[in-house]
Chain A
């Protein structure tokens, strides 16, 4: 055993083929669930939050594992998140302006 602890590098090894396939199975299952939920009429009132949550999980799985953002340098995460957060913030502002998002305290 080494007397010195291993140096913690920012980048780590990528997943292997087995992990990629496991994630593919999960992505397929979530897609099937999304379509199934779409046809369940009793869930219509809560459909948007359920679908957004499911697609967010798919989005995160692809970005973290297939795009390797979980294992890569944090600078890449920052660059991507900057664009993503800016787009999401702009969306909320515009949808709020047009009255589709109710802002707490707004008239």
Chain B
């Protein structure tokens, strides 16, 4: 998993670089600053950050054999992930309505590819976590298999730290 996360760092690094390069060469309107709603995106970022907290609490629960709390925390993590993805879908829709879409210019393309790939990672993570929830509900996940939850957690925290960077570099730092 750590080798995969290391390689995914390079993957997202390339996407972030592409966005930064093309943002500085932005042509026409709307620009990202015209359409960004920072308070709204801050709430999404906060939801993802808190999902990381719920994830470690899920891991702590299975490590002490508390399967009921494990299932609750897994649902909380998946729920917060859904809040984030739902927020991103709404954000993309509102950006499109304001004239910023995948084909507006190369800056728009790199923005949607970067944030879209991140959203895809979050969606895959939600599917993974819900699979663990189903396994736990069927009694197929036990304290002895806490490593399964730990590995899913590593992936989940990774999508969180990628968003920490994207939120700062893409949304907060002005051009």
Contacts and interface: CB of A to CB of B under 8 A. Distances in A.
Interface of A: 14, 16-17, 20-21, 23-24, 27-28, 31, 34-35, 38, 44, 47-48, 51-52, 54-55, 58-59, 62-63, 66-68, 75-76, 79-84, 86-88, 90-91, 94-95, 98, 100
Given A98-B24, A100-B20, A66 B55 contact: yes
Of B12, B38, B158, B164, which is in contact with the most chain A CB atoms at under 10 Å from its CB?
B164
A82 B6 contact: yes
B148 to A, nearest CB: 15
A58 B173 CA distance: 16
A100 B157 contact: no
A83 B10 contact: yes
Interface in B25-59: 38-39, 42, 45-46, 49-50, 52-53, 55-57, 59
Interface string B144-175: 00000010011001101100110111001110
> Which interface class (under 10, 10 to 19, 20 to 34, 35 or more) fits B?
35 or more
B interface secondary structure, majority: helix
Given A38-B172, A44-B174, A47-B173, A20 B60 contact: yes
A60 to B, nearest CB: 9
Given A47-B173, A95-B21, A87 B12 contact: yes
A76 B2 contact: yes
7 closest A-B pairs by beta carbon, nearest first, are A87-B13, A83-B6, A83-B9, A24-B53, A55-B168, A79-B2, A76-B2
Given A63-B157, A82-B6, A98-B21, 6 more contacts: A66-B56, A68-B150, A87-B12, A91-B13, A91-B20, A100-B20
